[in-house]
Amino acid sequence: MARTAAVIGGGVIGGGWAARFALNGWNVRVYDPDPEAERKIGEVMGNARRSLPGLTDVALPAEGAISFHSSIAEAVEGAEWIQESVPERLDIKHSTFGAIQQACDPDAVIGSSTSGFKPSELQEGAARPGQIMVAHPFNPVYLLPLVELVPGDAGDAALIEVAKATLSSLGMYPLHLRKEIDAHVADRFLEAVWREALWLVKDGIATTEEIDNAIRYGFGIRWAQMGLFETYRVAGGEAGMKHFMAQFGPALKWPWTKLMDVPEFTDELVDLIAGQSDAQSGAYSIRELERIRDNNLVTMMRGLKAQDWGAGALLNAQEKLMRAGTALGARAAELPADKPVLTARRTVPLDWTDYNGHMTESRYLHAFADATDRFMEIIGCDAEYIRAGGSYFTAETHIQHLDEVHAGAVIEITTQVILGEGKKMHLWHEMREAERLLATGEHFLLHVSLETRKPAPPSAEIEAALVRFAQGHAGLPRPEGLGRAIGAAR
């Protein structure tokens, strides 16, 4: 049964939480007195639907329902997780928590999206302080994994573990801070950089665009994958972190930042920044910028996924959880051998489309090759077996592109064994969106020794598992297009 979350306060952050929960199959109950809340959350959902589901190579569960409620009491009823994203005023936060705790399950997690308040401040005067914790996400909440989880000294230990497990199941990364501090961790860095950047613009050293370029063409892309300390560890070379610190230690005394000082927040400064920002980005609407940003995040995160690193390693961990207990995680013996095998169920990611607006041709083979890998895993040719020196190499492929498909579509691939004996494996993949046949992939593979790079017999276990499917599939109808050559009459 679907789990239920309550989102108190919509807007960009609350809407992002609603999207993250709903796309992971939770029902979401929203309370926000703003009459525009439904429209605003709908817009965030639109962005989230186009970008989040394709991040992983396994389709997310069916989307949960989002409902809107006229009171906090009604919204939090039956919710396992209640996320507060109301304006950053402590009096509003306190009255919101009061209303939540009057009506909610005492075992529910109450997370606060606050960027500045400490949990001890939020918990003041609460009926059950241990239930309230900071769960500070980052925009866009539906894509970025970081959540600063700060329970404070009053936090309930068991509930903290529930919160961490829940966030991980949503593909998020709970950064559990054991000591509370103003603005937690990440926003302290953002604030430091923001203050420095305001000085640079105010003093006419650089424009907003030049500052953005100084970040994104240099350290920004380093930090996206390793952060600060690991980057410097590498920069320090074999001499190590101590050497690096000794080299840059003296700079701590040098006037390399203005941050002993804070710029005055005047109308002139606001106009200067806003004007430069218009010159830099005004050619795009905010909606266009959001989509560009999300396209960029998806392609970078999927790139890191293939490297199994950083935000991409988190996606792989989430995917493993999603495969467990489903057909996409099963081994040969658990699967019937008398019908084609389901080898993929995934959402076409944003970065798989081309200038024609549909899935680009090489991604058909990417999806078929992943399906082949999954079939290899099913019969026992898994990562461990490959490390031990055996694998299958594809010798020949024939693809029929029968219909178009777009980003966001859920596609399934089923695989039929045409021939499986000795070193040979001849597979027939069919790719569908629901009932619609999109493409077929005919693949001829040979088992090889990774040492000699030459054909060699597979292990007896693999051959037995393959032969079982080959025999089971021998009774299936011959696929249309099997053995076709290009140029032959259709």
Q: Which residues in 260-299 contact a copy of itself (CB under 8 A)? A: 260-263, 265, 270-271, 273-274, 276-278, 280-281, 286, 289-290, 292-293, 295-297, 299
Residue closest to 429 by CA, chosen among 471, 372, 362, 467 = 372
Residue 14 is labelled as binding a ligand:
yes
Total binding residues for a copy of itself by CB under 8 A? 155
Q: Cis check for the bond before 140: say yes or no (omega within 30 of 0).
A: yes
Give 58 or 359: the residue with its C-beta nearer to a copy of itself. Answer: 359
Non-local (6+) Cβ contacts of 371 within 8 A are 343, 344, 413, 415, 429, 441
Is 304 among the residues that bind a copy of itself (CB under 8 A)?
Answer: yes
Residue 9 is labelled as binding a ligand:
yes
What one-character DSSP code corresponds to residue 38?
A: H
Query: Distance between CA 90 and CA 451 in Å, rounded?
Result: 65
> Of these, 71, 307, 449, 471, which contacts a copy of itself (CB under 8 A)?
307
> Of these, 256, 321, 324, 338, which contacts a copy of itself (CB under 8 A)?
256
> Of these, 384, 475, 487, 489, which contacts a copy of itself (CB under 8 A)?
487
Site for a copy of itself in 122-181 (CB under 8 A): 138-139, 144-146, 148, 173, 175, 177, 179, 181
Is 407 among the residues that bind a copy of itself (CB under 8 A)?
Answer: no
Give 101 or 353: the residue with its C-beta nearer to a copy of itself. Answer: 353
Give 98 or 287: the residue with its C-beta nearer to a copy of itself. Answer: 287
Give 55 or 79: the residue with its C-beta nearer to a copy of itself. Answer: 55
> Of these, 39, 62, 98, 242, which contacts a copy of itself (CB under 8 A)?
242
Is 92 among the residues that bind a copy of itself (CB under 8 A)?
Answer: no
Helix (H, G, I), strand (E, B) or coil at 217: helix
CB 357 within 8 A of CB 401: no
Query: Distance between CA 17 and CA 21 in Å, rounded?
Result: 6
Read out DSSP for 155-188? Answer: --HHHHHHHHHHHHHTT-EEEE-SS--TTTTHHH
Handedness of CA 137, 141, 146, 151 (dihedral sign): positive
- The site map against a copy of itself for 411-430 (x = CB under 8 A) is -------xx------x----
Residue 11 is labelled as binding a ligand:
yes
> Of these, 258, 323, 345, 432, which contacts a copy of itself (CB under 8 A)?
258
**Radius of gyration of the CA atoms of the chain, in A:** 27
Site for a copy of itself in 29-48 (CB under 8 A): none
Give 64 or 119: the residue with its C-beta nearer to a copy of itself. Answer: 119
CB 342 within 8 A of CB 48: no
Query: Distance between CA 395 and CA 383 in Å, rounded?
Result: 20
Residue type (1 letter), 485: A
Non-local (6+) Cβ contacts of 146 within 8 A are 137, 138, 172, 173, 175, 186
CB 188 within 8 A of CB 148: no
Give 239 or 464: the residue with its C-beta nearer to a copy of itself. Answer: 239
> Of these, 2, 126, 154, 224, which contacts a copy of itself (CB under 8 A)?
224
Helices (H), 239-285: 240-248, 267-281
Q: How far is the CB of 178 from a copy of itself (least distance, A)?
A: 8
Q: How far is the CB of 74 from a copy of itself (least distance, A)?
A: 27
Give 72 or 462: the residue with its C-beta nearer to a copy of itself. Answer: 462
Residue list, annotated binding site:
9-14
Which residues are documented as binding site for NAD(+)?
A: 9-14
